[in-house]
Amino acid sequence: MTQNEILQQSPQVLIEKYPFLTSFFDGQHWMADLNPTRSLAELFALIDEGFAEDHAFDADAFIGQLIDFITEMQAFIGNDTFKVNKLTILPGTNKSGEPEGFEKLDFEPKTITSIVGPTGSGKSRLLADIEWVAQGDTPTRRKMLINEQLPDSAWRFSGNKKLVAQLSQNMNFVMDLTVKEFLELHAKSRMVSDADDLINRIISSANELAGEKFSPDTAITALSGGQSRALMIADTALLSQSPVVLIDEIENAGIDRKKALEILTGEDKIVLMATHDPLLALMADQRIVIKNGGIHSVIKTSAEERALLAELEKADIKHQKMRTALRSGAVLQGENLKY
């Protein structure tokens, strides 16, 4: 649509045509008291200099942004079916300029990759490279491919299209809303039209992960640590648009970690997980070892390690059972430790 065509339309007609414009018009306070059935050109004619100053309104900037918004949202909605089937990292160098220890590193949906290495070794740089879809233009000189092709620059610059969703230890909910209101808000920002079903699924998934259940009417700030983490994970799995999820250590408290990973991979996410917990590290299909700012090696989880994992899981279940027993007031005995 050209500028002139848009000027002849009223906000009401535009919203009927492009329902996503609601959020755009909501942010235009200068319109608040004007008649939405009149054309933009007519509305502009009503605006005098004083009114424009008060509302910091600039007609040219407004029309430019309106056109940007429509164009981008249409591309975004049309692109919703675009699927990341493979993410590839081509090697760069470590801090000393030596080549990284792999040929080509692929990540596919439903797979888990753990990332190990000391603090400051370059884990956040790796994540940033993925988020920025590095093209040999970051300090590591790594290159990324999406579906074996050079990625679209929209992954870098678009506010609505981010490659990586992040879940980390010190994240908290800060909004003063109930669980249901909060999820509705998130769904709205994602332009999900029929959100009720999705919201119910998120809440029931989160309740499966958390030890103690919460209701849709619970305030998000009143959730326990475990419940918050459970809700964040379920929400990221089902409602975040980002195909890659980076998890920075899942705390071993009040949450079923194995199930958490299952929910994420079940929603076709590519899961990257920074962890030094053997139970989590071995749940991954492969692990990346980071040293001196570069990827030192990539290790596929071996059959022996998988067998070890089974042992660790048994120990973990014991541990969880004792936790539950303690919570209900039981006295632990020697046999609690036997496998």
Partner 1 sequence: MNLVTISGPPSSGKTAVILKTAESLKQRGLKIGAVKFDCLYTDDDVAYEKAGIPVKKGLSGSLCPDHYFVSNIEAVTAWGVEEKFDLLVSESAGLCNRCSPYVKDIKAVCVIDNLSGINTPRKIGPMLRMADIVVITKGDIVSQAEREVFAAGVYAVNPGAVIMHVNGLTGQGAYELSTLLFDENQHIDTLKGKKLRFSMPSALCSYCLGETRIGESYQMGNVRKIDLKNN
Contact code string over 276-295 relative to partner 1, x by CB under 8 A: --------------------
Q: Looking at 96-104, 227-235, 252-260, 279-287, which segment touches partner 1 (CB under 8 A)? A: 227-235
> Distance between CA 262 and CA 256 in Å, rounded?
10
Count of other CB atoms within 10 angstroms of residue 291: 17
Residue 44: beta bridge partners?
A: none
Could you give the C-alpha distances from 229 to 232, 260, 267, 298, 327, in angstroms and in order? Answer: 5, 10, 17, 29, 20
Q: Looking at 6-14, 22-30, 204-212, 283-291, which segment touches partner 1 (CB under 8 A)? A: 22-30
Q: Which of residues 217 and 335 has its CB atom nearest to partner 1 in the complex?
A: 217
Binding test (CB under 8 A) with partner 1, winner from 80, 98, 137, 311: 137
With a CB cutoff of 8 Å and minimum separation 6, the contacts of 46 are 34
CB distance 219 to 238 below 8 Å: no
**Closest to 127 measured CA to CA, from 284, 290, 262:** 290
Length of the chain: 339
Count of other CB atoms within 10 angstroms of residue 173: 16
Contact code string over 176-215 relative to partner 1, x by CB under 8 A: ------xx-xx--xx-------------------------
Hey, is 159 helix, strand or coil?
A: coil
Q: Give, rounded to a whole angstrom, the gap between the first and last alpha carbons of the chain.
A: 69
- Of 76-135, binders to partner 1 (CB under 8 A) are 124, 127-128, 131-132
> Distance between CA 126 and CA 259 in Å, rounded?
26
302 binds partner 1 (CB under 8 A): no
Smallest gap from residue 260 Cβ to partner 1 (A): 14
Q: Which of residues 100 and 131 has its CB atom nearest to partner 1 in the complex?
A: 131
Binding test (CB under 8 A) with partner 1, winner from 18, 44, 69, 102: 69
Smallest gap from residue 139 Cβ to partner 1 (A): 7
Contacting positions for partner 1 (CB under 8 A): 23-24, 26-27, 29, 53, 56, 58, 61, 64-65, 68-69, 72, 124, 127-128, 131-132, 137-139, 156-160, 162, 165-168, 170-175, 182-183, 185-186, 189-190, 228, 232, 235-236, 239-241
